[in-house]
Amino acid sequence: MSANTPPRHGKTGRPIDTDKLDRIVTEARAASDERAAGYREQALKLYPWVCGRCSREFDRLNLRELTVHHKNMDHDHNPPDGSNWELLCLYCHDNEHQRYEEHRAAVAAGRGGKTLGGGGPPTTHKALEGLAELLKGRST
Protein backbone atom coordinates (compact mmCIF):
# COMPACT_ATOMS: atom_id res chain seq x y z
CA MET A 1 0.00 0.00 0.00
CA SER A 2 1.49 3.35 -1.00
CA ALA A 3 1.35 6.50 1.10
CA ASN A 4 -1.44 7.91 -1.09
CA THR A 5 -3.69 4.85 -0.89
CA PRO A 6 -6.31 5.16 1.86
CA PRO A 7 -6.64 2.26 4.30
CA ARG A 8 -9.40 -0.22 3.53
CA HIS A 9 -12.00 -1.79 5.78
CA GLY A 10 -10.96 -5.30 6.81
CA LYS A 11 -14.30 -6.93 5.99
CA THR A 12 -15.79 -4.88 3.16
CA GLY A 13 -12.59 -3.77 1.45
CA ARG A 14 -14.01 -0.26 0.98
CA PRO A 15 -11.74 2.74 1.58
CA ILE A 16 -11.91 4.19 5.09
CA ASP A 17 -12.60 7.91 5.35
CA THR A 18 -9.89 8.73 7.89
CA ASP A 19 -10.81 12.43 7.90
CA LYS A 20 -14.34 11.53 9.00
CA LEU A 21 -12.97 9.22 11.71
CA ASP A 22 -10.64 11.96 12.94
CA ARG A 23 -13.56 14.41 13.15
CA ILE A 24 -15.72 11.90 15.07
CA VAL A 25 -12.94 11.13 17.56
CA THR A 26 -12.16 14.83 18.04
CA GLU A 27 -15.83 15.65 18.64
CA ALA A 28 -16.25 12.73 21.06
CA ARG A 29 -13.16 13.76 23.03
CA ALA A 30 -14.32 17.38 23.20
CA ALA A 31 -17.79 16.33 24.41
CA SER A 32 -16.24 14.02 27.00
CA ASP A 33 -13.87 16.74 28.23
CA GLU A 34 -16.73 19.24 28.45
CA ARG A 35 -18.91 16.80 30.40
CA ALA A 36 -16.03 15.88 32.71
CA ALA A 37 -15.15 19.51 33.37
CA GLY A 38 -18.71 20.19 34.47
CA TYR A 39 -19.05 17.41 37.01
CA ARG A 40 -15.41 17.67 38.11
CA GLU A 41 -15.89 21.34 38.99
CA GLN A 42 -19.06 20.50 40.91
CA ALA A 43 -17.46 17.59 42.77
CA LEU A 44 -14.45 19.68 43.78
CA LYS A 45 -16.82 22.28 45.24
CA LEU A 46 -18.95 19.69 47.06
CA TYR A 47 -16.30 17.47 48.59
CA PRO A 48 -13.07 18.01 50.52
CA TRP A 49 -9.96 17.42 48.44
CA VAL A 50 -9.21 14.03 49.99
CA CYS A 51 -9.10 10.59 48.35
CA GLY A 52 -12.12 8.60 49.49
CA ARG A 53 -10.04 5.40 49.68
CA CYS A 54 -6.53 6.16 50.92
CA SER A 55 -7.31 9.52 52.59
CA ARG A 56 -4.48 11.30 50.79
CA GLU A 57 -4.99 15.07 50.94
CA PHE A 58 -4.67 17.35 47.93
CA ASP A 59 -4.03 21.04 47.35
CA ARG A 60 -3.89 23.26 44.29
CA LEU A 61 -0.40 22.00 43.38
CA ASN A 62 -1.40 18.34 43.00
CA LEU A 63 -5.16 18.63 42.45
CA ARG A 64 -4.81 17.22 38.91
CA GLU A 65 -4.09 13.83 40.59
CA LEU A 66 -7.55 13.79 42.22
CA THR A 67 -10.23 12.29 39.99
CA VAL A 68 -14.00 12.00 40.10
CA HIS A 69 -15.16 8.38 40.27
CA HIS A 70 -18.71 7.46 39.28
CA LYS A 71 -19.91 4.97 41.88
CA ASN A 72 -22.28 3.23 39.45
CA MET A 73 -19.71 3.36 36.60
CA ASP A 74 -22.11 5.45 34.44
CA HIS A 75 -20.30 8.63 33.39
CA ASP A 76 -23.54 10.11 32.12
CA HIS A 77 -25.27 9.81 35.52
CA ASN A 78 -24.29 13.12 37.14
CA PRO A 79 -26.91 14.22 39.68
CA PRO A 80 -26.25 17.79 40.88
CA ASP A 81 -26.09 16.64 44.52
CA GLY A 82 -23.00 14.54 43.69
CA SER A 83 -24.54 11.33 45.02
CA ASN A 84 -22.95 9.26 42.22
CA TRP A 85 -19.46 10.71 42.70
CA GLU A 86 -16.53 10.22 44.98
CA LEU A 87 -13.12 11.80 44.75
CA LEU A 88 -10.29 9.29 44.35
CA CYS A 89 -6.59 9.72 43.68
CA LEU A 90 -5.32 8.39 40.36
CA TYR A 91 -4.05 5.18 41.94
CA CYS A 92 -7.21 4.35 43.88
CA HIS A 93 -9.35 5.24 40.85
CA ASP A 94 -7.38 2.86 38.63
CA ASN A 95 -7.66 0.18 41.32
CA GLU A 96 -11.42 0.66 41.58
CA HIS A 97 -11.89 0.24 37.83
CA GLN A 98 -9.59 -2.81 37.81
CA ARG A 99 -11.66 -4.40 40.59
CA TYR A 100 -14.81 -3.67 38.57
CA GLU A 101 -13.39 -5.30 35.44
CA GLU A 102 -12.31 -8.36 37.44
CA HIS A 103 -15.79 -8.54 38.96
CA ARG A 104 -17.41 -8.40 35.51
CA ALA A 105 -15.08 -11.12 34.22
CA ALA A 106 -15.90 -13.33 37.23
CA VAL A 107 -19.63 -12.85 36.71
CA ALA A 108 -19.31 -13.61 32.99
CA ALA A 109 -17.38 -16.78 33.82
CA GLY A 110 -19.98 -17.82 36.40
CA ARG A 111 -17.60 -17.45 39.34
CA GLY A 112 -19.50 -15.08 41.57
CA GLY A 113 -20.84 -11.61 41.58
CA LYS A 114 -22.10 -10.75 45.07
CA THR A 115 -19.15 -8.55 46.08
CA LEU A 116 -16.26 -6.96 44.24
CA GLY A 117 -12.78 -8.24 44.91
CA GLY A 118 -13.25 -11.98 44.64
CA GLY A 119 -16.05 -12.71 47.09
CA GLY A 120 -14.44 -11.39 50.25
CA PRO A 121 -16.27 -9.17 52.71
CA PRO A 122 -17.19 -5.68 51.48
CA THR A 123 -14.99 -2.76 52.43
CA THR A 124 -16.07 -1.12 55.68
CA HIS A 125 -13.48 1.68 55.95
CA LYS A 126 -15.04 5.12 55.71
CA ALA A 127 -12.22 7.58 55.10
CA LEU A 128 -14.35 10.69 55.65
CA GLU A 129 -16.33 9.40 58.61
CA GLY A 130 -16.52 12.10 61.28
CA LEU A 131 -15.46 14.88 58.92
CA ALA A 132 -18.76 16.75 59.31
CA GLU A 133 -18.28 16.75 63.07
CA LEU A 134 -14.74 18.15 62.71
CA LEU A 135 -15.93 20.90 60.39
CA LYS A 136 -18.82 22.03 62.58
CA GLY A 137 -18.38 25.60 63.64
CA ARG A 138 -15.51 26.29 61.22
CA SER A 139 -15.99 29.19 58.86
CA THR A 140 -15.02 28.70 55.24
Which pLDDT belongs to residue 78?
A: 86
Question: Could you tell me the domains of the chain?
Answer: 18-113 (3.40.1800)
More confident residue, 40 or 111: 40
Question: For residue range 113-134, what is the model confidence (pLDDT) as tens digits?
Answer: 555 544 555 566 677 787 778 7
* Closest listed residue to residue 66, CA positions, set 89, 38, 50: 89
pLDDT exceeding 90 applies to what percent of the chain? 34
Query: CA angle at residue 57 from 116 to 121, to 5 degrees?
Result: 20
Contact 89, 56 (CB under 8 A): yes
Question: What pTM did the predictor assign?
Answer: 0.55
